[in-house]
A and B are shown apart, each in its own frame.
Chain A
Amino acid sequence: GAVVSQHPSRVICKSGTSVKIECRSLDFQATTMFWYRQFPKQSLMLMATSNEGSKATYEQGVEKDKFLINHASLTLSTLTVTSAHPEDSSFYICSAKDGNQPQHFGDGTRLSIL
Protein backbone atom coordinates (compact mmCIF):
# COMPACT_ATOMS: atom_id res chain seq x y z
CA GLY A 1 0.00 0.00 0.00
CA ALA A 2 0.93 3.64 -0.12
CA VAL A 3 3.73 4.65 2.21
CA VAL A 4 4.63 8.01 3.62
CA SER A 5 8.02 8.38 5.24
CA GLN A 6 8.60 11.11 7.78
CA HIS A 7 12.04 12.04 9.05
CA PRO A 8 13.33 12.46 11.68
CA SER A 9 11.14 10.54 14.09
CA ARG A 10 12.57 12.33 17.09
CA VAL A 11 14.54 15.53 17.43
CA ILE A 12 15.80 17.37 20.47
CA CYS A 13 17.39 20.77 20.05
CA LYS A 14 18.18 24.00 21.79
CA SER A 15 15.89 26.97 21.88
CA GLY A 16 16.50 29.37 19.01
CA THR A 17 17.51 26.78 16.45
CA SER A 18 15.57 25.88 13.33
CA VAL A 19 14.38 22.36 12.71
CA LYS A 20 13.43 20.80 9.39
CA ILE A 21 11.08 17.84 9.11
CA GLU A 22 10.75 15.92 5.86
CA CYS A 23 7.72 14.09 4.54
CA ARG A 24 8.09 11.82 1.53
CA SER A 25 5.60 9.75 -0.41
CA LEU A 26 7.48 6.63 -1.41
CA ASP A 27 5.31 4.93 -3.99
CA PHE A 28 2.81 7.50 -5.17
CA GLN A 29 2.68 11.10 -6.24
CA ALA A 30 1.47 13.35 -3.47
CA THR A 31 -0.39 16.18 -5.14
CA THR A 32 -1.40 17.42 -1.70
CA MET A 33 0.36 17.15 1.63
CA PHE A 34 -0.88 18.10 5.07
CA TRP A 35 0.89 18.99 8.27
CA TYR A 36 -0.69 18.31 11.64
CA ARG A 37 0.33 19.07 15.18
CA GLN A 38 -0.75 17.21 18.30
CA PHE A 39 -0.39 18.53 21.80
CA PRO A 40 -0.44 16.01 24.64
CA LYS A 41 -3.91 14.64 25.29
CA GLN A 42 -5.42 16.81 22.57
CA SER A 43 -6.69 16.37 19.05
CA LEU A 44 -4.57 16.34 15.98
CA MET A 45 -4.83 19.83 14.55
CA LEU A 46 -4.37 20.67 10.92
CA MET A 47 -1.68 23.30 10.52
CA ALA A 48 -1.46 23.72 6.78
CA THR A 49 -2.22 22.21 3.41
CA SER A 50 0.25 22.32 0.58
CA ASN A 51 -0.18 21.54 -3.08
CA GLU A 52 2.88 20.75 -5.15
CA GLY A 53 4.36 23.86 -6.64
CA SER A 54 2.08 26.23 -4.75
CA LYS A 55 2.30 28.16 -1.53
CA ALA A 56 0.87 26.39 1.50
CA THR A 57 -2.51 27.33 2.91
CA TYR A 58 -2.27 27.82 6.64
CA GLU A 59 -5.07 27.30 9.14
CA GLN A 60 -6.16 30.17 11.29
CA GLY A 61 -3.79 30.83 14.15
CA VAL A 62 -0.78 29.13 12.56
CA GLU A 63 2.14 31.50 11.94
CA LYS A 64 3.37 31.06 8.40
CA ASP A 65 6.68 32.74 9.17
CA LYS A 66 7.22 30.39 12.06
CA PHE A 67 6.28 27.19 10.29
CA LEU A 68 7.73 27.26 6.79
CA ILE A 69 6.33 24.68 4.44
CA ASN A 70 7.86 23.76 1.11
CA HIS A 71 6.30 21.30 -1.33
CA ALA A 72 8.70 21.52 -4.24
CA SER A 73 8.11 18.09 -5.72
CA LEU A 74 5.38 15.48 -5.97
CA THR A 75 7.11 13.29 -3.41
CA LEU A 76 8.54 15.68 -0.85
CA SER A 77 7.27 18.32 1.53
CA THR A 78 9.24 19.91 4.33
CA LEU A 79 8.19 21.72 7.47
CA THR A 80 10.76 24.02 9.03
CA VAL A 81 10.14 25.27 12.53
CA THR A 82 12.14 28.49 12.65
CA SER A 83 13.71 29.82 15.83
CA ALA A 84 12.07 27.07 17.82
CA HIS A 85 11.11 27.63 21.43
CA PRO A 86 9.93 25.24 24.15
CA GLU A 87 6.29 25.99 23.36
CA ASP A 88 6.88 24.55 19.89
CA SER A 89 7.57 21.17 21.44
CA SER A 90 4.95 18.84 20.08
CA PHE A 91 4.22 15.87 17.87
CA TYR A 92 4.15 16.81 14.20
CA ILE A 93 2.66 14.47 11.64
CA CYS A 94 2.35 14.76 7.90
CA SER A 95 0.03 13.08 5.47
CA ALA A 96 -0.13 12.90 1.71
CA LYS A 97 -2.68 12.09 -0.92
CA ASP A 98 -2.90 11.75 -4.65
CA GLY A 99 -5.87 13.59 -6.10
CA ASN A 100 -9.09 12.49 -4.43
CA GLN A 101 -7.66 9.38 -2.85
CA PRO A 102 -7.63 9.07 0.96
CA GLN A 103 -4.68 10.40 2.91
CA HIS A 104 -1.76 8.31 4.03
CA PHE A 105 -0.01 9.38 7.19
CA GLY A 106 3.65 9.48 8.15
CA ASP A 107 4.88 8.12 11.48
CA GLY A 108 5.21 11.54 13.02
CA THR A 109 8.07 13.54 14.53
CA ARG A 110 8.45 14.16 18.24
CA LEU A 111 10.02 17.61 18.59
CA SER A 112 11.47 18.63 21.93
CA ILE A 113 12.94 22.09 22.40
CA LEU A 114 15.12 22.59 25.45
Chain B
Amino acid sequence: AQSVSQHNHHVILSEAASLELGCNYSYGGTVNLFWYVQYPGQHLQLLLKYFSGDPLVKGIKGFEAEFIKSKFSFNLRKPSVQWSDTAEYFCAVPASGGSYIPTFGRGTSLIVHP
Protein backbone atom coordinates (compact mmCIF):
# COMPACT_ATOMS: atom_id res chain seq x y z
CA ALA B 1 0.00 0.00 0.00
CA GLN B 2 1.10 3.53 -0.66
CA SER B 3 1.82 5.97 2.14
CA VAL B 4 2.90 9.56 2.52
CA SER B 5 5.06 11.40 4.99
CA GLN B 6 5.04 15.07 5.83
CA HIS B 7 8.17 16.26 7.54
CA ASN B 8 7.12 19.78 8.49
CA HIS B 9 4.62 19.44 11.30
CA HIS B 10 4.51 23.09 12.29
CA VAL B 11 5.31 26.05 10.06
CA ILE B 12 5.08 29.69 11.08
CA LEU B 13 5.39 32.42 8.47
CA SER B 14 4.75 36.10 8.08
CA GLU B 15 2.37 37.37 5.45
CA ALA B 16 3.86 37.61 1.95
CA ALA B 17 6.46 34.94 2.72
CA SER B 18 6.74 32.04 0.33
CA LEU B 19 5.54 28.62 1.37
CA GLU B 20 6.72 25.13 0.59
CA LEU B 21 5.37 22.12 2.47
CA GLY B 22 7.08 18.81 1.94
CA CYS B 23 5.36 15.57 1.05
CA ASN B 24 7.08 12.33 0.14
CA TYR B 25 5.27 9.22 -0.98
CA SER B 26 6.19 5.58 -1.05
CA TYR B 27 6.21 4.04 -4.48
CA GLY B 28 3.32 1.71 -5.14
CA GLY B 29 2.66 1.56 -8.86
CA THR B 30 0.44 4.24 -10.34
CA VAL B 31 1.00 7.47 -8.45
CA ASN B 32 -1.94 9.69 -7.62
CA LEU B 33 -1.49 12.46 -5.08
CA PHE B 34 -3.67 14.95 -3.23
CA TRP B 35 -3.34 17.94 -0.98
CA TYR B 36 -6.18 18.75 1.40
CA VAL B 37 -6.62 21.80 3.63
CA GLN B 38 -8.60 22.23 6.83
CA TYR B 39 -9.19 25.80 7.95
CA PRO B 40 -9.88 26.39 11.65
CA GLY B 41 -13.38 25.20 12.50
CA GLN B 42 -14.10 23.98 8.98
CA HIS B 43 -14.12 20.71 7.12
CA LEU B 44 -11.41 19.27 4.94
CA GLN B 45 -11.28 20.60 1.39
CA LEU B 46 -9.43 19.32 -1.64
CA LEU B 47 -6.75 21.84 -2.66
CA LEU B 48 -5.43 20.04 -5.69
CA LYS B 49 -4.78 16.60 -7.10
CA TYR B 50 -2.39 14.91 -9.49
CA PHE B 51 -3.39 11.89 -11.51
CA SER B 52 -1.36 12.25 -14.70
CA GLY B 53 -0.11 14.80 -17.21
CA ASP B 54 1.62 18.05 -16.31
CA PRO B 55 3.57 17.45 -13.09
CA LEU B 56 2.96 21.03 -12.00
CA VAL B 57 -0.56 21.14 -10.68
CA LYS B 58 -2.47 24.32 -10.01
CA GLY B 59 -5.02 24.31 -7.23
CA ILE B 60 -7.43 26.68 -5.59
CA LYS B 61 -6.44 29.85 -3.73
CA GLY B 62 -3.11 30.23 -5.52
CA PHE B 63 -1.61 26.94 -4.39
CA GLU B 64 0.37 24.65 -6.64
CA ALA B 65 2.25 21.41 -6.23
CA GLU B 66 4.92 19.74 -8.27
CA PHE B 67 5.17 16.00 -8.74
CA ILE B 68 8.85 15.02 -8.95
CA LYS B 69 9.03 11.33 -9.65
CA SER B 70 12.78 11.04 -9.11
CA LYS B 71 12.43 12.46 -5.61
CA PHE B 72 9.14 10.74 -4.72
CA SER B 73 7.89 14.18 -3.76
CA PHE B 74 4.75 16.26 -4.19
CA ASN B 75 5.52 19.49 -2.37
CA LEU B 76 2.90 22.17 -1.94
CA ARG B 77 3.86 25.76 -2.73
CA LYS B 78 2.45 29.24 -2.63
CA PRO B 79 4.54 32.29 -3.61
CA SER B 80 3.02 34.67 -1.10
CA VAL B 81 0.95 33.49 1.85
CA GLN B 82 -1.85 35.38 3.52
CA TRP B 83 -3.14 35.35 7.07
CA SER B 84 -6.18 33.47 5.77
CA ASP B 85 -3.95 30.56 4.75
CA THR B 86 -3.58 29.62 8.41
CA ALA B 87 -4.79 26.02 8.41
CA GLU B 88 -3.80 22.40 8.60
CA TYR B 89 -2.56 20.86 5.36
CA PHE B 90 -2.66 17.16 4.58
CA CYS B 91 -0.90 15.32 1.80
CA ALA B 92 -2.61 12.12 0.73
CA VAL B 93 -2.42 9.17 -1.62
CA PRO B 94 -5.22 6.80 -2.57
CA ALA B 95 -5.52 3.84 -0.26
CA SER B 96 -5.51 1.60 -3.30
CA GLY B 97 -5.26 1.91 -7.06
CA GLY B 98 -6.82 5.01 -8.56
CA SER B 99 -9.53 5.38 -5.94
CA TYR B 100 -10.55 8.60 -4.28
CA ILE B 101 -10.17 7.09 -0.82
CA PRO B 102 -7.16 8.90 0.58
CA THR B 103 -4.56 7.75 3.04
CA PHE B 104 -3.41 10.89 4.78
CA GLY B 105 -0.08 12.12 5.99
CA ARG B 106 0.25 13.43 9.52
CA GLY B 107 -0.53 16.97 8.48
CA THR B 108 1.28 20.29 8.69
CA SER B 109 -0.03 23.11 10.83
CA LEU B 110 0.60 26.45 9.13
CA ILE B 111 0.30 29.69 11.06
CA VAL B 112 0.61 32.94 9.13
CA HIS B 113 1.17 36.08 11.15
CA PRO B 114 -0.31 39.31 9.76
Task: Name A's B-contacting residues (CB within 8 A).
Answer: 4, 6, 34, 36, 41-46, 49, 93, 95, 97, 100-108
From the candidates A41, A103, A107, name the one contacting B100 in the complex (CB within 8 A).
Answer: A103
Question: How far is it, in angstroms, between the C-alpha of A84 and the C-alpha of B82 when the chains are bound?
Answer: 41
Flag whether B73 is at the interface (Cβ < 8 A).
no
Task: Name B's A-contacting residues (CB within 8 A).
Answer: 9, 36, 41-46, 49, 90, 95, 100-107
A46 touches B44 (CB 8 A): no
Residue of A34, A44, A102 with highest tally of chain B CB at under 10 A: A44
B43 touches A46 (CB 8 A): no
Question: How far is it, in angstroms, between the C-alpha of A55 and the C-alpha of B72 when the chains are bound?
Answer: 36
Smallest CB separation, B60 vs chain A (Å): 11
B100 touches A97 (CB 8 A): yes
Smallest CB separation, B40 vs chain A (Å): 11
B106 touches A46 (CB 8 A): no
From the candidates A93, A97, A102, A106, name the one contacting B49 in the complex (CB within 8 A).
Answer: A102
Question: How far is it, in angstroms, between the C-alpha of A95 and the C-alpha of B101 when the chains are bound?
Answer: 10
CB-CB nearest in chain A for B4: A43
A41 touches B49 (CB 8 A): no
Known: A105-B44, A107-B43, A108-B43. A43 touches B105 (CB 8 A): yes
A93 touches B44 (CB 8 A): yes
B106 touches A43 (CB 8 A): yes
A105 touches B95 (CB 8 A): no
A107 touches B49 (CB 8 A): no
Q: A42-B106, A43-B105, A46-B95 are in contact. List 8 more A-B contacts (CB 8 A).
A: A45-B104, A93-B43, A100-B100, A101-B100, A102-B46, A102-B100, A104-B43, A105-B43
A4 touches B43 (CB 8 A): yes
Question: How far is it, in angstroms, between the C-alpha of A8 and the C-alpha of B105 when the chains are bound?
Answer: 26
